Structure 1
Amino acid sequence: MAHDAAAAGATAAGPRTASGLGFALTSALAFGLSGPIASPLFDAGWSTGAVTLLRIGLGAVVVVPFGLVALRGRWGVLRRNARLVVLYGLLAVVGAQFCYFAAIQRMQVGPALLIEYTAPVAVVVWFWLRHGQRPGPVTLVGALLAALGLFFVLDLLGGATLDPIGVLWALGAMVGAATYFVINGDLDNGLPPLALAAGGLLVGATGLGSLALVGLLPMTATTAPVGLAGATVPWWLPVALLGAVTAGVAYVSGIAAGRRLGSRLSSFVALLEVVAAVLFAWLLLDELPRAVQLLGGVLILAGVVAVRLGEERTAAVVASAVPVGDSEPSTRPPHAGECEGAPPGAV
């Protein structure tokens, strides 16, 4: 009986993991598109605040109706998680995006991304220190491979000077990204993924809009055409793509991935965003990636595979520790990255 139950669980976990990886890849591609799409707007004179607010605001317009449908009138669930939604909106939505854009105003894109994408390592450390979930050796090897791959993808071999203020902004983006991964992997809050994404985007747009209204956040925009993919396009086209695709699609698919893969694994798969950003920069901005960057992409993929193997090995150890015949699962908090996601109270 125990063997049959384990086999059934493995069968169910297979499609769940596959769909989770699909959602994670979709999210990485959508997020990776944001830089190449936003770059022409910055060149045309748009401010960081204006681009961020429009991206989040339009994302909220797209996602909120679907979030309301997914909530199905369960307002009590939303009230119980009000603090979580606010935290998600301020840190995972506004913090990650605004801090990153602020960082690249003072330092090169490569170092800023490298600092922000230490977030997966921060997630591993968080679960280790907060919940005693020590990562296995295979997971650690995967983390090292992914970090090395990022180093090559970001092409830092030539050396780069780091602006201290820019580094602080990039660290702020890292905190926002880590919060994003941890909350996405929490299954116990009861919020549907669409409702969480809608609430976070709405909180983020309201917060940034309030700062703009009182004059604390400079807003500069222009209706001049911008250059994109070798063509001149109206300003509203990249703005619409930023809102609908790089915010709406990215956050919804990212949350769906976190629910299926857990915080730790989904955070490592999201490293593919950097590879996607390089490819989109090549296609849209004619910035051809170098061979060393392609090597970095291969290393990132190897790191993701290693992390997955490490998580499966840990899950197998947990499953084997459950006595045969037990009808109830162990009350021990699950290992981050198991098929059901992060433990209760992840944040």
Structure 2
Amino acid sequence: MPVRTSVSSQDSPGKGAGLGLALGSALAFGGSGVAAKPLIEAGLDPLHVVWLRVAGAALVMLPVAIRHRALPRRRPALLAGFGLLAVAGVQACYFAALSRIPVGVALLVEYLAPALVLGWVRFVQRRPVSRAAALGVVLAAGGLACVVEVWSGLSFDALGLVLALGAACCQVGYFVLSDQGSDAGEAAPDPLGVIAYGLLVGAAVLTAVARPWSIDWPVLAGSARLNGTAVPAVALLAWIVLVATVIAYVTGVLSVRRLSPQVAGVVACLEAVIATVLAWVLLGEHLSAPQVAGGAVVLVGAFIAQSATPAEGSSTPVASGGAERELSARGTAA
């Protein structure tokens, strides 16, 4: 199944608004880990935080799902894939990684997804990739080596790194799903409807896995600590559900409609920067100079990989990259 880029007009009148929406989406998604980690440290299981996030967002988006109630009959495979990979898989692996490694490191590892997509294209689909795309993969891998400080024998928790890599792999599966409906034109499913049903599917899957009936509810009635400052736990949860999920996905969808995937992808790269800065200011998580430099190289490599042109002899674009909210729109309304 080929992986394609969607086509959007860069000359649309709403380009300025699109940039603002994309920046807002990056800010919203970048703050999810910073809000979730204090809840995990306060005693909530990472899977329970994921379930609360997804189930809460699904409840908010339920009216949208009702409006598009014919969608499950038209695109059941797409909705199942979106819910399993883009919602349940990515969030569960990412939040579990947060319980073991810094927020910035987890997100930078997740940003290997565009490079991993090219591996899928080259070795599974056996299609040529451009030299620029290959360079992006090499840069991303080299930058990651600096982020995890391989010269010191992986100074971070190995399981945490594996979980972050699992989040990246789930994003790869979602990149592959981006071809679904790309030839449907006006018959393509509404992206907001896909997001709504993806959240419902993700919530159902996570209910079976996370067993929310065992949640330590008193934790939510208390407070969590942001770098020593007490914050109501329920306020952090509200941020995760309303801002870091619902608003982040919706603004991401609207921004991609007004921008080209490449431009939106550039703004998407700011998510890792925003998350790292917020983790430094609010959680006191500091990265060393080599890790900061390595993170910058990872972002450059991811950007090159996601915006690379097709290799000679390939009739379709190599891959389309970006953070999870670009995927949510691009994969369903290509």
Using the size of structure 2 for normalisation, the TM-score is 0.73
2:31 maps to 33
Q: Pick from 227, 232, 235: which aligns with 1:234?
A: 232
8 Å contact kept, 2:147–2:294: yes
| Shift in CA distance, 239/250, structure 1 to aligned 2, threshold 3 Å | same
Summarize the Cα distance change of 1:89–1:258 in structure 2 as closer, same or farther, 3 Å threshold: farther
Please name the residue that 1:63 is paired with. 61
Task: Tell me by how many angstroms 1:82 deviates.
Answer: 1.1
Contact kept? 1:147, 1:300, Cα under 8 Å:
yes
Q: Could you tell me which residue of structure 2 aligns to residue 101 of structure 1?
A: 95
Q: Deviations over 1:222-251 (max 9, x none)?
A: 121122365322111100111112222333
The 5 Å alignment of 1:1-347 reads 12-15=9-12, 25-66=23-64, 68-69=66-67, 71=68, 75=70, 77-105=71-99, 113=107, 115-152=109-146, 158-160=152-154, 166=160, 168-184=162-178, 186=180, 187-188=182-183, 190-212=188-210, 218-221=214-217, 222=219, 223-228=221-226, 231-254=229-252, 270-303=268-301, 306-307=304-305, 310-311=308-309, 314=310, 333-337=316-320
Paired residues of 1:110 and 1:156 also in contact (CA < 8 A): no
Judge conservation of contact 2:37–2:99 (CA < 8 Å) in 1. no
Q: What does the per-residue CA deviation read over 1:152-203, in whole Å, with 9 as the maximum and x for residues that have no partner?
A: 4566664425766555544432221222334356534612221111111111
- Supply the RMSD in Å over aligned alpha carbons: 4.2
In structure 2, give the amino acid aligned to 1:48.
P
**Paired AA for residue 12 in structure 1:** S
Q: Is the 8 A contact 1:120 1:267 kept in 2?
A: no
Q: Structure 2 CA distance, aligned partners of 1:45 and 1:93?
A: 23
Q: Decide whether aligned partners of structure 1 residues 297 and 106 sit closer, same or farther in structure 2, where only a CA change above 3 A counts.
A: closer
Letter in 2 for 1:336: A
In the alignment, the residues of structure 2 paired with residue 123 and residue 265 of structure 1 have an alpha-carbon distance, to the nearest angstrom, of 19
Preserved contact between residue 78 and residue 191 of structure 1 (Cα < 8 Å): no
* Cα distance in 1 between the residues matched to 2:281 and 2:161: 29
Aligned-partner Cα distance in 1 for 2:17–2:179: 15
TM-superposed deviation, 1:269: 6.4
Partner of 2:324: none
Give the number of the structure with larger relative contact order, counting CA–CA contacts within 8 Å between residues 6 or more apart.
2
Residue 204 of structure 1 deviates from its aligned partner by 0.9
Inter-CA distance 22–130: structure 2 relative to 1 (3 Å threshold): farther
Distance 1:298 1:67 in 2: 39
Q: Is the 8 A contact 2:23 2:267 kept in 1?
A: yes
Alpha-carbon distance between aligned partners in 1 of 2:15 and 2:152, rounded to the nearest angstrom: 38
- Matched to 2:63, the amino acid is P
Change (3 A) 1:234 1:19: same
**How far off is 1:85 after superposition?**
0.6
C-alpha offsets along residues 206-225 of structure 1, whole Å, 9 cap, x if unaligned? 2222445597xx53341211
Rounded to whole Å, the distance in 2 between the matches of 1:12 and 1:117 is 26
Gapped regions of structure 2 (runs ≥ 5): 1-6, 322-326
**What letter is aligned with 1:174?**
A
- Kindly, what percent of the aligned residue pairs are identical? 36
Q: Is the radius of gyration larger for structure 1 or structure 2?
A: 1
Of 236-245 and 147-156, the range deviating more from structure 2: 147-156
What is the CA-CA distance between 1:45 and the residue it aligns to?
0.9
Using a 3 Å threshold, how does the CA distance of structure 1 residues 231 and 163 change in structure 2: closer, same or farther? closer
Separation of aligned partners in 2, 1:107 and 1:31: 18
**Offset of 1:287 from its aligned partner?**
3.1
